Structure 1
Amino acid sequence: MTLVLTEMDGEGIVTLTLNDPGSRNAISDLPMVEAILAALAAAEADPAARVIVLTGTGSAFSSGGNIKKMGESGGLNDPLPARTRQNYRAGIQRIPLAMEAMELPVVAAVNGPAVGAGCDLTLMCDVRIAGESARFAESFVRLGIIPGDGGAWLLPRVVGFSKACEMALTGEMIDAAEALRIGLVSRVVPDADLLETARDVARKIAANPTHAVRMTKRILRQAGQMRLDQALELSAAYQALAHATADHKESVAAMLERRPAQLTGR
């Protein structure tokens, strides 16, 4: 079975689909981790790729950890705690690091429950669109564990500290409407319209100059961890690069001449 399906259209939109419906697209097992990392790396390295849409096969976006392998010495857990630590570092924790390092924007099309690490996977994305059947839960505590894949870092930055504490300490599920209210997703659409809506957002991103898009994503990601003076210094450096691109010059000319820009990615 191909654990992550990859499809790219002529507009540079790469659709990655988690494809393990038997586990409800659990992402904790090493083969799925490797498949996700390989798909992300291939998209990032493809000069024709402009934006990624991430979704899941079946009725769930992702169930997170594989519960069938949890418990006494199962899955990531090892009889020796030091090995468990290494299992997390060499396994699922590589996904948030890879997502953070990427320049291609990632749009999550959340097609059903996103639970535990599955919820955190949505948080790693840059834009989150939810179908009406989407559900979200930072549910680790209900299994007697903690967010081991970066959720404690990600969730407060998206929904604020108080709501993050409520979600993580109760483990309760929230529906798509509540996710929209707290800013976990940017919009909710009928399930039948989800993938097309996500691709429409991706098209609008892909239509912009690719170097400007990539650098804008990087500055948005990095600025939150910087002082203002540091963010301004990085912005100046990125802007110098942007001003030197052919797409910047073409975009300015097209706006002045009131015509569509002919972008080349240079």
Structure 2
Amino acid sequence: MSENIRIGREGRVVTLTIAREDKKNALTQAMYGALADALLAYGESDNDRALVITGAGDMFTAGNDLKDFARGDREIEEPPVWRFLNAIRDCPKPVIAQVNGPAIGVGLTMLLHCDLVYAGRSATFSAPFVKLGVVPEAGSSVLLPAAVGMAMANDILLAGRVLDVEEALRAGLVARVFDDAALDAEVGRVAAAVAMAAPRAMRLSKALIRSGRDAVAEQMAREAKHFAAQLQGPEFAESVAAMAEKRLPDYG
């Protein structure tokens, strides 16, 4: 279990907090592993009925820790990041996102697998994969166009557009927006209500709602193959070097 993933419980509601504020809650492989383990345990629990994912401080997550990815073990058959993405995709019970600040990269794409997404006024949303020399993941190459339309998805994934919270609300990426100071309480109320619902009906309803997404797993596998190849290529190496040297990357 990673010390940077805090697990809290209140009644039948589990809260996972990404807590690495000194690094803008950037996710390491160890953190992905902890998130995957917690999601799997939640899915199997007889007691837990709702799960909330949020970030510590004023940041949801800055996405992948690029230095951690650069030195990661690529020989692992199922790296922790893919374990997490598969776990959040396949979780049989409600997953709620409480977006308390910028959601970057996987911080945005994981929302496409959450059942309920609520955000504070300070939230922003971006997916700078191409800028970093990698490709979209988490099924976002199909789920994002389906959610917001092809034109906006291309603006986000290819042109690097950053959405503010009102744009995200209009696009359908989030269900409701709350003042930052009220976000904890409002999401807590929703989570408590979800946890009180009939559990079998909730599982069946979630399965029915997602029944048209059978091809997502196949697309995620294709994305993972290209993502892994890019991690070993010169473009990702240049993005990491540019970050370390505090300059813009030069892709030639």
Bin for the TM-score computed over the shorter chain:
0.7 to 0.9
Q: What residue number does 2:17 align with?
A: 17
Q: Which amino acid aligns with 1:13?
A: V
Give the direction of change, closer, same or farther, for the CA distance of 1:224–1:173 in structure 2 (3 Å limit). Answer: same
The question of whether the paired residues in 2 share the 8 Å contact of 1:92 and 1:149 is answered with no
The question of whether the paired residues in 1 share the 8 Å contact of 2:21 and 2:56 is answered with yes
Whole-Å separation in 1 of the counterparts to 2:31 and 2:121? 26
CA RMSD of aligned residues (A): 2.0
Match of 1:98 among 63, 87, 90: 87
| Unaligned runs of at least 5 residues, structure 2 | 216-252
The aligned runs of 1:66-215 (5 Å cut-off) are 66-69=65-68, 74-76=70-72, 83=74, 89-215=78-204
Give the direction of change, closer, same or farther, for the CA distance of 1:212–1:109 in structure 2 (3 Å limit). Answer: same
Whole-Å separation in 1 of the counterparts to 2:71 and 2:21? 18
The question of whether the paired residues in 1 share the 8 Å contact of 2:33 and 2:81 is answered with no
Q: How many residues align?
A: 214
The question of whether the paired residues in 2 share the 8 Å contact of 1:155 and 1:164 is answered with yes
Whole-Å separation in 2 of the counterparts to 1:151 and 1:160? 12
The question of whether the paired residues in 2 share the 8 Å contact of 1:120 and 1:151 is answered with yes
Q: What residue number does 2:62 align with?
A: 63
TM-score normalised by structure 1 residue count: 0.74
Whole-Å separation in 2 of the counterparts to 1:153 and 1:203? 31
State the 1:88 CA deviation: 8.7
Q: Which amino acid aligns with 2:49?
A: R
SS in 1 for 2:158: helix
TM-score normalised by structure 2 residue count: 0.78
The question of whether the paired residues in 1 share the 8 Å contact of 2:30 and 2:80 is answered with no
Deviations 1:165-196 (A, max 9, x none): 11101112111011001000011110011121
SS in 1 for 2:8: strand
Whole-Å separation in 2 of the counterparts to 1:48 and 1:97? 22
Whole-Å separation in 1 of the counterparts to 2:188 and 2:110? 18
Whole-Å separation in 2 of the counterparts to 1:16 and 1:207? 19
Whole-Å separation in 2 of the counterparts to 1:88 and 1:25? 26
Relative CO higher for 1 or 2, CA cutoff 8 Å, sep ≥ 6?
Answer: 2
Q: What residue number does 2:45 align with?
A: 46
Whole-Å separation in 2 of the counterparts to 1:95 and 1:162? 28
Percent pairwise identity: 36
The aligned runs of 1:237-248 (5 Å cut-off) are none
